[in-house]
Structure 1
């Protein structure tokens, strides 16, 4: 019977090769992981791994003999192509273990020792080819405590950011979708619950349940943070969040992440200081991802950052706008100061263009993954800090002087870099030419030998000639004896006694000396010894640099914020943005506002048409906007939200002027899409998003609604839209500032019923049956949709358009309005007219209304109800 192997597969029972035995032993330690197994100059994969790898990478799948056992699938690639193929595997959702040779094959006795040197997962990597320099790559962990509470933690191993929190499922889902972790850890027993609550879009990795125990998780956190208490980090009382955070530390250890000195703090995450943006709003406003492949997101337009950490900070600022007026004002004042001093602004740009990714370089120092070329980039970046400080101080503005003072002193770290590293270094440590001269006398001597070997031998030869008087003496070399001194027989009596004879020739004798053997060893082994010494010295350098990690990380954060604000100034200058006025009230007043993205995509001869928007909670809380499709209603809604969001980021805005009362939440219900995978229709998705708004809005929120109710019947849709407007107007706890774009002209009636509702329309002109979009917002409701005109513009067949116009004319002739006599309108075999459901005045309806007037439905018995129904029936038959 075949015996099971440790990796869970059955062995054939036949003898396997030593190499494959070693492979299976290592593979068994990493189940569910692609094992890249170093064999000579190649990384090889075997069996099921090989099949997967060949499919993902598009490389040839072959077979390899496995001793007496059967053949096994094989796929591999050259070791120097690791940076090409590893990112493809990780981005396809694979966990990858890199197994390297741990000894020199030339010196190995038997099979070469191998071991996993790195385990790369979607959420745990330092590889620049895998990471997006402009985005954070978060690893998250979820711990479900009960039906109401869940703990979540996030870590960014490439930067050292680490935070956790606990809350309800809705809050956890919002944060998860906002920060979009690349990988999420869950316990095996909670896997299905996580899928149920958070959907299937997350990349989930399962851990054993015992990892999610409080005592174990707390111990792992304390070990990482080198402390005895979590009180100083503000999470001591958050046991659920602590469990999630501790499981992350466990996973980092499990994935061979041993040097984690850059993760020295953990923060309690609290988004109460940020504007609430639910997942629908982030998607609908296209903040970081466009809805269409050829579209642009907000970040694509306003990102003028000069460093990767600035770009990452910008994305966080977009997704987490501020609510604190003082913080917002500081950002705006900084941007304004930059714009007032153009020459100095350009000086800063020059300095920032020479900066590397200081944040991720610091993490590479901590994990000892930084290569020599990256170390010089780190040094070049630190050298720019002093000039940046000097330029900031030259603005003669207190707000920038404080920024200059906020840097930590980088001189000690620079001293270490200057001490160890040459100005120009090779990319690979093994290539030599990394460590500066004067650090090691032995290294300096070996380099001199390697560089001047022949000269040193000639100098020795000349010295021995002068010492011994043997004028014919010469130094030679052969593969048998190495270096030797050759003396003709005529002078052999002058040979010193300390020389050792090695060979007698016909006309000469060959000798060696201790000095010559020393030089021979140094010359022949200089290169190898140089590599060894430089590696040792480079490790010393890294150990010393780790003492300055806090300085590197702190300065990276200061630079990231400055870079973002510098980018705000540059985009404001190029796009003619203005400084918004931020107020602690409920007003929103935008003069000649523009959509920041759309205006960049229009042809030069088609400028964007700006508009004014004014909202408050006293006289104009809700604006109902009517107008035809393509008139610009949706763009107007989105630009209002984007201008508000940009202002609370601390960015200038696309408008002539803007006064922004702080909002706490921004909600959008714009566009429609099915969620087929979850069995949800367009209408269900719409209602989910609308319910989210109704349940979470406050009086300080901003709500944007576009075509609510259009996914169902007309009467249902109008009813829902009408009720929603009433709810937002009449419910004190959620009287939010609202823009409501609609085709339901019935909603214009609300202006007469609700004092804070106002009607506006996006104007158009009709000329000879064709419409001209003016895209200007004007007071008053619109009575025409111009849908048929838009259909004609879209290229509908002319016969179809003509038929639609005839039907429309027929319907309008039979529409009931105040000028018509009150009589019912009936169509046999014709489509039913859409009546104004809130002003029904036909005779039948009036009869029913009169019969029911005064009836108390709640107290009516079943018999009385039947009698009343009979009365209505009789009245309609008369």
Structure 2
């Protein structure tokens, strides 16, 4: 270090404190990176790698970005999972004596982003802290940009159950960054899940962070001295440890502004539907399964919100449907009033349109990073609140009245910003001109000095001419000694005694006076003084607004709820949705139900509606058969989606809807090989089936789509039947179940198991041509129409003809298979087949068969041949 320049020594000292970050080191108008940081940034952002003299033989690798456009570069690095430490100049380089003081003012990580340019306004950006020990875990989720903070704690009988529970909870919030205690790394597959499924940055913190005393102190300090009992955390010790670690981490990264998180909310699994990650993905609630796009998802259909707060809330509601009929009814009543009062709905939509992101603007105000433009945005937003409150005064729905009461008009904040901040403020305070004329007399006087300097000097010149009697006395300015008075040689004897000679010219002399010097200081220092005064005044305005955080926050929450309700109402009116009836009956009755997304995507073709009539007894399980592409999956998905829509408080696409509260929706729909994890399609399928059978209850809705496809025909059919019997059994699960299958043999279960009913997709066939009618009708399918579907999909005609020939041959030799299908009855005990005497020919045939290489069809043909030989 002795050989390095002073500046590089300062760099290394700072870098040592933040070893796992990319250090943005401020040098003048640039942020510079050195050595490995420079190489990383050059590679990741495709920037030129240069070098800097640093007192060594070799130049230090260096890469830099302009400070005024640094956000763009930082955003790209954070998106790639890097942490960025911002090291600022803590004093004006012009006034610094020696080396400029520098210090890190903030560390930006994926979960601690505040800047608009780095955030998606339509969704929360959560950071999670997880503490694990002995089959239990404490969790907390915080959105630093909005101040939201949720805590949870879960206990499980074994690690597998705990891991499954944690994965579901984590996938509900989709955190971008996760903090773990060292023991949590023992949870099998958790870190892979976090990185691969959630794409989250993972940080393992030191043991020392997780001490009870340290955690309690951090939590109590965060919430202004409140005890664990007052925070309802006395019975949640693991949650306290997770919270303490989060606050410790944030204090080391955010430096200031943590007071934004002033309240915490205790999560309750008993209050919301337990949608796991598979269900959310398979039902495409917020993004499509294939392309991860918003268009084509349920959120895309329902989201007509006008504010960023509403966009985030509607997504949260969609992922956490309610279980309380009373709370759902409050939402439905509000939506109904808005749908029936179109003028109110239209006016409300128009007024919400001009409201900016109150939550995130307030966060930046509290953190001290908001600029003048954001204060103006805040003022514009809150100026619309009184008009919204006026609209809600005549409403009858309880929820709408409650929202009106929750909203604060915030007129004082609007008046403050209007009085203090100009209409079109500059981007930064340093540019000047952010404070409105007339707000502060001192600033007005300084500005007068700054803008009226010529007039002031001219007044001095006029006054001095009159006082001295020198008609050609004039004032001037140069960079050497500033303002001066110039007198020609012919009038030197009239110069007053208080004039101080500064320069002799050929034709005269130049002088200064105490008054002129004082005026010079006023004029030349006016700009700097005005910037300093404006900074002080702006900070004062920002502090006054920050003190009103709770009022603005409550208003923002109310605006968000109102925005979501108007969105539900607007969509319901446009798409002709119906108000559902919610109760605890266990029924699921839908008349003329439609898939909201498919219907929205159809252009010229009307959607074919279908009925659903299920309950907890005689209509508990529906076995649905029919060809691919006929609409089985769409029917099942729309049933689940309509249930979710009803339980978030939205109207539904049906003419009549009665829905008994569903505690969970489970789906087993499709799978793809996870080769990196060593799992085949069938392994994934069976894992998901196992999770459903372990966690489903009689109040759940279960969707199984083609169970058992990933293995041999007999194995798959056996597994499908066993799963169906298990989920049907009231002593084991007894859930309402939609079961789509190509195993037509399973339709026999309607005659064997009470509560099982057969349905199929109606198909119209004319010769070799088929038409899918998209209607669900009672009874099992007569045919799978596999070859016809292949033809529709564009399989070459030669292949189609050959397939028909093979099918005819197989059907001609199919009596054995027919007898097998007829023998599918409920067997309580396995049947053992014995052979007392067999012809040596049959035994020889059996010995020659390699069962490991036979296809299911070949197995059936061998069985048929052996049976005929025995006859």
TM over 0.5: yes
Assess, with a 3 A threshold, how the Cα gap between structure 1 residues 198 and 702 changes in structure 2: closer, same or farther: farther
* Whole-angstrom CA distance in 2 between matches of 1:513 and 1:203: 66
Q: Is the 8 A contact 1:173 1:198 kept in 2?
A: no
Q: 301-310 vs 409-418, which deviates more?
A: 409-418
Shift of 1:756: 0.9
Give the match for residue 648 of structure 1.
Answer: 647
CA distances 1:383-403 after superposition (whole Å, capped 9, x unpaired): 111111012224465543332
Q: Is the 8 A contact 2:707 2:741 kept in 1?
A: yes
3-state SS in 1 of match to 2:213: helix
Q: Is the 8 A contact 1:162 1:263 kept in 2?
A: yes
1:80 aligns with 2:79: no
From 76, 97, 112, the counterpart of 2:100: 112
1:158 aligns with 2:148: no
Q: 360-369 vs 504-513, which deviates more?
A: 504-513
RMSD over aligned CA atoms reads: 2.6
CA distances 1:677-710 after superposition (whole Å, capped 9, x unpaired): 2211111111111111111111211111100111
Assess, with a 3 A threshold, how the Cα gap between structure 1 residues 769 and 27 changes in structure 2: closer, same or farther: same
1:735 aligns with 2:734: yes
Assess, with a 3 A threshold, how the Cα gap between structure 1 residues 457 and 265 changes in structure 2: closer, same or farther: same
Assess, with a 3 A threshold, how the Cα gap between structure 1 residues 838 and 56 changes in structure 2: closer, same or farther: farther
CA distances 1:299-324 after superposition (whole Å, capped 9, x unpaired): 12211111111111011001101111
3-state SS in 1 of match to 2:486: strand
Give the match for residue 321 of structure 1.
Answer: 321
Give the match for residue 369 of structure 1.
Answer: 369
Shift of 1:529: 1.5
Give the match for residue 141 of structure 1.
Answer: 129
Q: 565-574 vs 216-225, which deviates more?
A: 565-574
* Whole-angstrom CA distance in 2 between matches of 1:398 and 1:191: 48
Give the match for residue 187 of structure 1.
Answer: 181
* Whole-angstrom CA distance in 2 between matches of 1:513 and 1:396: 77
Give the match for residue 608 of structure 1.
Answer: 607
Give the match for residue 286 of structure 1.
Answer: 284
Shift of 1:464: 4.1
Give the match for residue 391 of structure 1.
Answer: 391
* Whole-angstrom CA distance in 1 between matches of 2:398 and 2:820: 65
Q: Is the 8 A contact 1:715 1:837 kept in 2?
A: no
From 142, 164, 167, the counterpart of 2:154: 167
1:630 aligns with 2:617: no
Shift of 1:761: 0.6
Give the match for residue 5 of structure 1.
Answer: none
3-state SS in 2 of match to 1:836: helix
Shift of 1:601: 1.9
Shift of 1:659: 1.4
Assess, with a 3 A threshold, how the Cα gap between structure 1 residues 680 and 568 changes in structure 2: closer, same or farther: same
Q: Is the 8 A contact 2:78 2:84 kept in 1?
A: yes
1:838 aligns with 2:826: no
Q: 174-183 vs 391-400, which deviates more?
A: 391-400
Correspondence list, 1:780-799, <5 A: 780-799=779-798
Q: Is the 8 A contact 2:334 2:398 kept in 1?
A: no
CA distances 1:609-657 after superposition (whole Å, capped 9, x unpaired): 1111111112211111111000010011111111110111111112222
3-state SS in 1 of match to 2:152: strand
* Whole-angstrom CA distance in 2 between matches of 1:506 and 1:55: 64
* Whole-angstrom CA distance in 2 between matches of 1:608 and 1:642: 16
Q: Is the 8 A contact 2:4 2:55 kept in 1?
A: yes
Q: Is the 8 A contact 1:811 1:833 kept in 2?
A: no
* Whole-angstrom CA distance in 2 between matches of 1:251 and 1:72: 31
Give the match for residue 177 of structure 1.
Answer: 171
Assess, with a 3 A threshold, how the Cα gap between structure 1 residues 808 and 876 changes in structure 2: closer, same or farther: closer
CA distances 1:180-209 after superposition (whole Å, capped 9, x unpaired): 110111123543437447735242112111
Q: Is the 8 A contact 1:90 1:96 kept in 2?
A: yes
CA distances 1:351-400 after superposition (whole Å, capped 9, x unpaired): 21111100011111111111111011111111111111012224465543
Q: Is the 8 A contact 1:568 1:651 kept in 2?
A: yes
Shift of 1:492: 5.6
Q: Is the 8 A contact 1:746 1:838 kept in 2?
A: no
3-state SS in 2 of match to 1:731: coil
Give the match for residue 764 of structure 2.
Answer: 765
Shift of 1:296: 2.1
Q: 57-66 vs 258-267, which deviates more?
A: 57-66
3-state SS in 2 of match to 1:334: helix
3-state SS in 1 of match to 2:781: coil
CA distances 1:554-590 after superposition (whole Å, capped 9, x unpaired): 1111111111111111222222222212222111111
Assess, with a 3 A threshold, how the Cα gap between structure 1 residues 380 and 755 changes in structure 2: closer, same or farther: same
3-state SS in 2 of match to 1:705: strand
Q: 451-460 vs 755-764, which deviates more?
A: 451-460
Give the match for residue 592 of structure 1.
Answer: 592
* Whole-angstrom CA distance in 1 between matches of 2:248 and 2:624: 54
Correspondence list, 1:36-55, <5 A: 36-55=24-43
Give the match for residue 557 of structure 2.
Answer: 557
Shift of 1:262: 1.1
Assess, with a 3 A threshold, how the Cα gap between structure 1 residues 840 and 668 changes in structure 2: closer, same or farther: closer
3-state SS in 1 of match to 2:270: helix
Runs of 4+ more than 6 Å apart:
873-876
Correspondence list, 1:150-299, <5 A: 150-168=137-155, 169=162, 170-193=164-187, 195-196=189-190, 199-201=193-195, 202-293=200-291, 296-299=296-299
Shift of 1:515: 2.9
Correspondence list, 1:464-503, <5 A: 464-466=464-466, 469-488=469-488, 496-503=496-503
* Whole-angstrom CA distance in 2 between matches of 1:550 and 1:874: 82
Give the match for residue 852 of structure 2.
Answer: none
CA distances 1:11-44 after superposition (whole Å, capped 9, x unpaired): 8xx8223332222211111112111222232222
* Whole-angstrom CA distance in 2 between matches of 1:847 and 1:276: 43
Q: 392-401 vs 348-357, which deviates more?
A: 392-401
* TM, length-normalised to structure 1: 0.90
5+ long unaligned stretches in structure 2: 156-161, 837-865
CA distances 1:104-136 after superposition (whole Å, capped 9, x unpaired): 223333332222122011111112122111111
3-state SS in 1 of match to 2:230: helix
* Whole-angstrom CA distance in 2 between matches of 1:94 and 1:188: 21
* Whole-angstrom CA distance in 1 between matches of 2:341 and 2:460: 66
3-state SS in 2 of match to 1:199: helix
Shift of 1:161: 1.0
Give the match for residue 843 of structure 2.
Answer: none
3-state SS in 2 of match to 1:338: helix
Aligned residues: 827
* Whole-angstrom CA distance in 1 between matches of 2:663 and 2:715: 31
Q: Is the 8 A contact 1:788 1:804 kept in 2?
A: yes
* Whole-angstrom CA distance in 1 between matches of 2:517 and 2:720: 96
Shift of 1:673: 1.6
CA distances 1:441-480 after superposition (whole Å, capped 9, x unpaired): 2211111222222223223433444555544333222222
Q: Is the 8 A contact 2:762 2:772 kept in 1?
A: yes
Assess, with a 3 A threshold, how the Cα gap between structure 1 residues 457 and 417 changes in structure 2: closer, same or farther: same
* Whole-angstrom CA distance in 1 between matches of 2:825 and 2:613: 33
Q: Is the 8 A contact 2:355 2:384 kept in 1?
A: yes
Shift of 1:661: 1.3
* Whole-angstrom CA distance in 1 between matches of 2:618 and 2:420: 69
* Whole-angstrom CA distance in 1 between matches of 2:825 and 2:509: 127
Give the match for residue 572 of structure 2.
Answer: 572
5+ long unaligned stretches in structure 1: 1-10, 817-824, 826-831, 852-872
* Whole-angstrom CA distance in 1 between matches of 2:321 and 2:642: 12
Correspondence list, 1:437-448, <5 A: 437-448=437-448
Give the match for residue 697 of structure 1.
Answer: 696
* Whole-angstrom CA distance in 1 between matches of 2:492 and 2:349: 74
Q: Is the 8 A contact 1:637 1:704 kept in 2?
A: yes
* Whole-angstrom CA distance in 2 between matches of 1:41 and 1:682: 55
